[in-house]
């Protein structure tokens, strides 16, 4: 009977997996997941192939040293200018793999020059020593509910979604020190620390509950509001100096401000990362629209098209479980013009 006992045990284990609590429902959903009933349905995605193939030749892959894609790029001129996402570019020499054109069996890999970047939009402009095919850009802005198709290089349809929010200014990450503060005591300079977030800039500075922050960026801290305001004026990832009193000692420390969306609510961050990796830089765009397309960070940088194959914009970030952002055509043109002007000005000075 050993075989029978083993199978009983197996059955018991499996039931155990399903029965005890919150993981069970998710387990069940995963087991019963049927791709055909989902929006990932292949027939549905392929229905956009004609539209996407119109922009496929204008799509390229930026490669790392080993030849793997780090990000996509979009051709913006017939003489080889591409835009892509600046913060995902590798150091050193840049190569792109162009989409295989009609009659070409093999996609070409060419070295490209980084002409410049725009910090506000996180756009980089690349110059390829070759002519390229450009796509037709949409004349009207993205509408809420409209289908958007992210175009790939190997296959035309990389992913499909709908526009969730029309064009707007997308807020950036607000800076965060990572402390919970009490009220300043009357007559005493400094604000007491009541909580320190793990992995935050505050934790890195060695701050502990009970410490009193006395100066921030060289300025005495008069109140909780004053400190919050001083932090709010800075950008995430900038180094800051502060000093704090512990017992009768004063400690000076340098640390880096975090990003509120990453550290401020670990639960929100956790939920957003459930379901896939996110782009390094996910917000702070002057003008972008939002859609629900499920992308990996390496799928960003390429064009998105409407059902007719007109380019609605360039994907600029995968920012959360429910958010992918795209720069509209006018914004792409503005940034390209800005970077090329900077390049020209620089060249004329030399």
Partner 1 sequence: MHELVLRPVVKRFRAVVLAAGLAAAVGGTLQVAPAQARPADARVPTSLAELRDLERRVERTVARVMPAVVAIRGGVGGGSGVIITEDGLVLTAGHVIGAPERFVTLTLADGREVRGRTLGVSRRSDAGMVQITDPGPFPFVKRGTSNALERGQWLLALGHPGGLQEGRPAVLRLGRVLANRPLGIVTDNTLVGGDSGGPLFDLAGNLVGIHSRIGAVLVQNVHVPIDRFDEEWDRLAAGEAFGVREMARAPEASGSYLGIEIEQTETGIRVAAVVPGFAAEEAGLQPGDLIEAVGDEEIGSLPKLLAVLNFLHKPGDEVKLTVRRGPGQVLRLNATLAERP
C-alpha gyration radius of the chain? 25
- Helix (H, G, I), strand (E, B), or coil: what is residue 22? helix
What number of helices (H) and strands (E) belong to the chain?
Answer: 8, 20
**Closest approach of partner 1 to the CB of residue 170, in Å:** 9
Q: Rule CB under 8 A: say whether 248 interacts with partner 1.
A: no
Residues 185-214 that bind partner 1 (CB under 8 A): 197
Nearest to partner 1 of 29, 248 (CB atom)? 29
- Helix (H, G, I), strand (E, B), or coil: what is residue 272? helix
Q: In what helix (H) or strand (E) does residue 201 lie, and over which residues does it extend?
A: helix 201-204
Q: Which of 166, 172, 182, 286 binds partner 1 (CB under 8 A)?
A: 166
Q: In what helix (H) or strand (E) does residue 330 lie, and over which residues does it extend?
A: helix 329-349
Partners of residue 45 on adjacent β-strands: none
Q: What are the start-end ranges of the E strands in the chain?
A: 59-63, 69-75, 81-85, 94-98, 109-118, 123-127, 147-151, 157-170, 175-176, 179-181, 191-196, 212-216, 219-220, 239-246, 249-256, 258-259, 285-291, 303-305, 311-320, 323-327
The dihedral sign for the CA sequence 328, 280, 335, 173: positive
Near partner 1 by CB under 8 A, which window of 76-84, 172-180, 247-255, 342-350? 172-180
Q: Rule CB under 8 A: say whether 15 interacts with partner 1.
A: yes
Q: Rule CB under 8 A: say whether 277 interacts with partner 1.
A: no
Nearest to partner 1 of 120, 322 (CB atom)? 322
Q: Which of 271, 277, 330, 346 binds partner 1 (CB under 8 A)?
A: 271
Q: Rule CB under 8 A: say whether 8 interacts with partner 1.
A: yes
Near partner 1 by CB under 8 A, which window of 65-73, 107-115, 211-219, 265-273? 265-273
On the CB side of 226, how many CA atoms lie within 13 Å of its CA?
A: 15
Q: Which of 23, 120, 188, 330 binds partner 1 (CB under 8 A)?
A: 23
**Closest approach of partner 1 to the CB of residue 282, in Å:** 11
Q: Rule CB under 8 A: say whether 153 interacts with partner 1.
A: no
Q: Rule CB under 8 A: say whether 233 interacts with partner 1.
A: no
**Closest approach of partner 1 to the CB of residue 45, in Å:** 10
Which one-letter DSSP state was computed for residue 61? E
Other residues' Cβ atoms within 10 Å of the Cβ of residue 259: 19
φ and ψ of 175, to 5 deg: -75, 155
Nearest to partner 1 of 162, 226 (CB atom)? 162
Nearest to partner 1 of 26, 347 (CB atom)? 26
Number of residues that bind partner 1 (CB under 8 A): 75
Site string for partner 1, 28-67 (x = CB under 8 A): xxxxxxx-xxxxxx-xx--xx-xx----------------
- Using alpha carbons, select from 341, 333, 339 the residue that is nearest to residue 116: 339
Q: Which of 81, 89, 99, 176 binds partner 1 (CB under 8 A)?
A: 176
Nearest to partner 1 of 7, 104 (CB atom)? 7
Residues 283-322 that bind partner 1 (CB under 8 A): 290, 292, 294, 307, 320-322
Q: Which of 116, 152, 264, 301 binds partner 1 (CB under 8 A)?
A: 264
**Cα–Cα dist 285/173, whole Å:** 10
Other residues' Cβ atoms within 10 Å of the Cβ of residue 36: 9
Residues 63-92 that bind partner 1 (CB under 8 A): none
- Helix (H, G, I), strand (E, B), or coil: what is residue 137? strand
Nearest to partner 1 of 21, 102 (CB atom)? 21
Q: Rule CB under 8 A: say whether 276 interacts with partner 1.
A: yes
φ and ψ of 159, to 5 deg: -170, 160
Residues 118-147 that bind partner 1 (CB under 8 A): 143-147
């Amino acid at each position: 009977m050993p075989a029978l006992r083993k199978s009983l045990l197996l059955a018991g284990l499996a039931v155990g997996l399903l029965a005890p609590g919150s993981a069970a429902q998710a387990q069940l959903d995963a087991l019963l997941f049927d791709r055909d009933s989902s929006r990932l349905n292949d027939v549905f995605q392929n229905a956009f192939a004609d539209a996407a193939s119109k922009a496929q030749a204008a799509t390229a892959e930026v490669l790392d040293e080993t030849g793997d894609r780090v990000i996509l790029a979009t051709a913006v001129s017939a003489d080889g200018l591409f835009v892509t996402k600046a913060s995902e570019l590798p150091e050193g020499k840049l190569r792109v793999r162009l989409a295989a054109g009609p009659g070409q069996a093999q996609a070409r890999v060419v070295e490209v020059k980084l002409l410049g970047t725009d910090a506000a939009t996180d756009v980089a402009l690349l110059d390829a020593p070759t002519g390229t095919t450009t796509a037709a850009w949409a004349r009207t802005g993205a509408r809420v509910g409209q289908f958007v198709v992210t175009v790939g290089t190997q296959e035309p349809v990389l992913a499909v979604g709908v526009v969730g929010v029309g064009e707007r200014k997308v807020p950036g990450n607000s800076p965060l020190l990572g402390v919970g503060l009490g009220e300043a005591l009357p007559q005493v300079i400094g604000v007491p620390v009541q909580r320190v977030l793990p992995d935050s800039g505050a934790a890195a500075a060695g701050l502990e509950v009970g410490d009193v922050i006395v100066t921030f960026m060289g300025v005495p801290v008069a109140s909780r509001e004053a400190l919050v305001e001083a932090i709010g004026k800075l950008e995430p990832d900038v180094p800051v100096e502060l000093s704090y009193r512990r017992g009768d000692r004063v400690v000076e420390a340098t640390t880096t401000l975090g990003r509120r969306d990453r550290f401020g609510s670990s639960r929100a961050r956790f939920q957003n990362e459930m379901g896939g990796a996110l782009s390094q830089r996910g917000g702070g765009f002057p003008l972008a629209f939002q859609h629900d397309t499920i992308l990996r960070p390496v799928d960003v940088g390429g064009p998105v098209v409407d059902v007719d194959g007109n380019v609605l914009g360039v994907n600029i970030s995968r920012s959360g479980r429910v958010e992918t952002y795209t720069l509209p055509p006018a914004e792409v043109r503005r940034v390209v013009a800005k970077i090329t002007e900077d390049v020209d000005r620089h060249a004329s000075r030399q």
